[in-house]
């Protein structure tokens, strides 16, 4: 390593200068200092944070946030066969694949990786920084006595970039894709969709409007954060993929730390005022990002409520002049039927442990299977525009 480069680890974002964080991560709300601080304030069980800073001549050039925790690998596996096999083995070995792991990125899921260095580095400098980052992540994983390193949430657009930073002995596997709906400025949503999808919108919106109403709340601390956590836990219990297990303290913290860049979208019963749906939405300059949902399930109207959360968030983005809604992973089929276009997300695995390394090299890909992506639902005259909007934002689209 060049003597111009130095590095250090810290255990709290408070030890990183705010201006240094902004220099690396800019204004993206899900990569903001406030969002990462909310992760810390939440005091999640068994989660320890670490931040790697790399300097050149004393000036910051890279930051990589990381954390360690005890992961149950069955919670992130997307293959039904893989889950079933783990379940069978656990009848004999109950702790099979419940392991301490060292993870890069945010504990609260964001569908974003967190490898970033300053622009305008030379190829030689990028190679030096990459070597430091790769070596230090592995070293810290061993120091914290974790079983493997997990590189979290790498979108298709960034897969080569991340692989170029890391050594070639990482194994990358595809996870569930992420979804986004573009805002087409020439027509109002859902006019750009095919006839049957527009009809679907009208039917379910009419059903919603007869019973429910929408409300936006910008200050959602206290009782609302408590209620949201209660409803979020119901969604978490039903989820097939469980990467993070959030809590009331985290939701409360986002209210204070993200200020005007976050708000609640709430669906209430018109008569009883009962809250049925709550969504935390983050706001970037050109996008809305619905990150977490709370849902009070009832058999008669859950589909009406779920579909209308998609519809209304798109209409809200349209009203605010955004370019797209970044919906993230999971439940991608109803989103695709509502106009979402799809991009793959990957996880990367590495271990120094011989047994874990063998498992990663020979079996980890069998735990993940990408779902079949449906074709897009845009009219021919708007399909190119929909794809152009997201492609210009970096999306590498599958449908």
Which pLDDT score is estimated for 301? Answer: 84
CATH number of 179-343+375-392: 3.40.630.30
Q: Please state the φ and ψ torsions of residue 34, each to the nearest 5 degrees.
A: -65, -40
**Do 379 and 193 touch, CB atoms closer than 8 A?**
yes
Per-residue pLDDT tens for 143-153?
A: 999 999 999 99
Quick one: tokens of 352?
């120094």
pTM of the model: 0.93
**pLDDT confidence of residue 3:** 65
What pairs with residue 263 in β-bridges? 281
Pairwise CA distance, residues 185 & 322, whole Å = 9
Q: What pLDDT was estimated at residue 86?
A: 85
Share of the chain above pLDDT 70, in %: 99
Instruction: Give me the percent of the chain exceeding a pLDDT of 90.
Output: 78
pLDDT of 331 > 70? The answer is: no
- The reply to whether 179-343+375-392 shares the fold of 5-175+345-367 is yes
> At residue 1, does pLDDT exceed 60?
no
For residue 6, list its beta bridge partners: 55
Distance CA 197, CA 377 (A): 7
Residue 264 CA: distances (Å) to CA of 41, 217, 229? 20, 5, 12
Instruction: Say whether pLDDT at 74 is over 60.
Output: yes
**What length is written for the chain?**
399
| Span 178-207, pLDDT tens digits | 999 999 999 999 999 999 999 999 999 999
The average pLDDT across 338-347 equals 95
162, 112 in Cβ contact below 8 A? no
What is the average pLDDT across 3-7?
Answer: 85
Sheet holding 262-269, edge to edge: 212-217, 262-269, 275-283, 287-295, 324-329, 178-182, 341-343
Confidence of residue 328 (pLDDT cuts 50, 70, 90): confident
Per-residue pLDDT band for 175 (boundaries 50, 70, 90) equals confident
Residue 368 pLDDT: 87
pLDDT single digits (tens) 156-169: 999 999 999 999 99
For residue 217, what are its two tokens?
Answer: 């709340």
For the cut 60, the answer to whether the pLDDT of residue 39 exceeds it is yes
**Assigned CATH topology for domain 5-175+345-367:** Aminopeptidase (3.40.630)
Average model confidence (pLDDT) across the chain = 93
Does residue 59 register a pLDDT over 60?
yes
What is the structure's pLDDT at 89? 87
For residue 366, pLDDT over 90 is answered with: no
Confidence category of residue 2, pLDDT binned at 50, 70, 90: low
Residue extents of the structural domains in the chain: 5-175+345-367, 179-343+375-392
Task: Summarize the confidence of residues 221-238 as an average pLDDT.
Answer: 94
């Amino acid at each position: 390593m060049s003597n111009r480069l130095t590095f250090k680890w810290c255990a709290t974002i408070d030890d990183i200068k705010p201006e240094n964080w902004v220099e690396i991560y800019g204004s993206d709300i899900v990569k903001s200092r406030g969002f990462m601080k909310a992760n810390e304030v939440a005091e999640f069980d068994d989660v320890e944070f670490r931040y790697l800073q790399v300097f050149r001549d004393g000036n910051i050039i890279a930051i990589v946030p990381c954390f360690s925790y005890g992961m149950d690998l069955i919670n992130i596996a997307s293959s039904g066969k893989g889950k079933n096999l783990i379940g069978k083995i656990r009848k004999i070995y109950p702790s099979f694949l419940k392991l301490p792991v060292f993870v890069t990125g945010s504990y609260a899921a964001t569908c974003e990786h967190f490898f970033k260095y300053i622009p305008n580095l030379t190829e030689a400098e990028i190679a030096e920084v990459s070597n430091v980052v790769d070596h230090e992540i592995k070293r810290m994983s061993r120091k914290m006595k974790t079983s493997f390193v997990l590189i979290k949430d790498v979108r298709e657009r960034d897969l080569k970039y991340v692989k170029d930073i890391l050594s070639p002995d990482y194994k990358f596997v595809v996870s569930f894709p992420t979804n986004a709906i573009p805002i087409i400025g020439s027509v109002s949503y859902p006019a750009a969709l095919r006839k049957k999808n527009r009809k679907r919108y009208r039917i379910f919106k009419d059903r919603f409007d007869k019973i429910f109403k929408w409300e936006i709340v910008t200050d959602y601390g206290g009782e609302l954060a408590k209620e949201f956590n209660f409803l979020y836990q119901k969604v978490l219990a039903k989820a097939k993929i469980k990467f993070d297990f959030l809590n009331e303290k985290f939701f409360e913290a986002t209210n204070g730390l993200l200020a005007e860049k976050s708000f609640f979208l709430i669906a209430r019963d018109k008569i009883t005022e009962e809250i049925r749906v709550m969504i935390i939405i983050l706001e970037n300059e050109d996008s809305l990002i619905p990150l977490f949902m709370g849902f009070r399930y009832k058999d008669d109207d859950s589909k009406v409520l779920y579909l209308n959360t998609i519809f209304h968030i798109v209409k809200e983005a349209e009203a605010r002049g955004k370019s797209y809604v970044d919906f993230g992973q999971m439940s991608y089929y109803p989103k695709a039927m509502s106009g979402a276009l799809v991009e793959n997300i990957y996880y990367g695995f590495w271990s120094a442990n011989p047994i874990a390394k063998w498992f990663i090299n020979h079996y980890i890909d069998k735990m993940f299977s990408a779902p079949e992506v449906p074709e897009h639902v845009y009219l021919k005259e708007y399909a190119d525009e929909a794809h152009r909007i997201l492609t210009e934002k970096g999306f590498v689209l599958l449908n």
